[in-house]
Amino acid sequence: MAQQPEQFKDLGLDTRLLAALEHQGLHTLTEIQDRAIPVILNGYDLIASSKTGSGKTLAFLLPSLQRLIKTKALSKRDPRALILAPTRELAKQVYEQLRSVTSGTSFNIALLLGGENFNDQIKLLRRQPHIIVATPGRLANHLNERSLMLNGLELLIMDEADRMLDLGFSKELNQINDAADHRHRQTLMFSATLDHAEVNEMAEKLLKAPKRIAVGAAN
């Protein structure tokens, strides 16, 4: 018997998240969302791939936000979640989806892009955002300048990990990983493909006993 497609309202998500989805007219999960959301809600590290346009952003945002809502912050000062994306444009897109889906919540969110005024970003960081979306180079600059600490980080999310590595950000990813080394951290890696040696190497290093999901691929 064919299963009914999974609905967002059946995931047990916080009503504020559901209201935001409803507002955007989103009801039915895509395949990557259907497979990744329960794994992330259960606290596992995850490496996942699925093609462009398949809804990967909400696949990591929704369960991540749900976990942040349900658990007590490790730190009052440091960000709870950090989402890295390879380019300014992609980071902006993630930030816009984050902004829509958190519109009914009290999460303080910040976007830190390369090429923008550093001191303005320091001011943003003084407001102690709970969730930061950033490009890796600029985030590493803030770590170097000590305008940001990642001791309390609960969630590290790398979106388009394959592109981040193709663009040469492995040094920054390692630095960020070292700064955010915490035994309670959950780490998620999304990529257009898992058939990428550097992605797998980075996953070995950064993820703990990860679950692996590849939608629409042989592996």
- Contact residues for Mg ion (CB under 5 A)? 56
Does the protein bind ligand ADP through residue 121 (CB under 6 A)?
Answer: no
How far is residue 136's CA from residue 119's CA, in Å, rounded to a whole number? Answer: 17
Does the protein bind ligand ADP through residue 53 (CB under 6 A)?
Answer: yes
Cβ–Cβ < 8 Å for 130, 150 = no
How many residues in the shown chain lie near ligand ADP by CB under 6 A?
A: 13
Give the residue from 30, 66, 77 showing the smallest Cα distance to 186. Answer: 66
What's the per-residue H, E or C state across 3-34? CCCCEHHHCCCCHHHHHHHHHCCCCECCHHHH
Does the protein bind ligand ADP through residue 187 (CB under 6 A)?
Answer: no
The entry of ligand ADP, Mg ion, none near residue 58 (CB within 5 to 8 angstroms by kind) is: ligand ADP
Identify which of residues 12 and 53 has a Cβ nearer to ligand ADP in the complex: 53
How far is residue 150's CA from residue 139's CA, in Å, rounded to a whole number? Answer: 11
Identify which of residues 62 and 179 has a Cβ nearer to ligand ADP in the complex: 62
Please pick, from the candidates 2, 3, 10, 52, the single residue that binds ligand ADP as defined by CB under 6 A. 52
In which region does residue 25 sit, left (phi positive, over 0), alpha (psi from -120 to 50) or beta (all else)?
left
* Shortest CB 89 distance to ligand ADP, Å: 12
Please pick, from the candidates 6, 18, 20, 30, the single residue that binds ligand ADP as defined by CB under 6 A. 30
Please pick, from the candidates 13, 40, 57, 173, the single residue that binds ligand ADP as defined by CB under 6 A. 57
* Shortest CB 10 distance to ligand ADP, Å: 13
Does the protein bind ligand ADP through residue 4 (CB under 6 A)?
Answer: no
Please pick, from the candidates 38, 55, 104, 114, the single residue that binds ligand ADP as defined by CB under 6 A. 55
How far is residue 207's CA from residue 44's CA, in Å, rounded to a whole number? Answer: 9
Identify which of residues 98 and 179 has a Cβ nearer to Mg ion in the complex: 98
Does the protein bind ligand ADP through residue 152 (CB under 6 A)?
Answer: no
How far is residue 13's CA from residue 21's CA, in Å, rounded to a whole number? Answer: 11
Helix (H) or strand (E) holding 97: helix 88-101
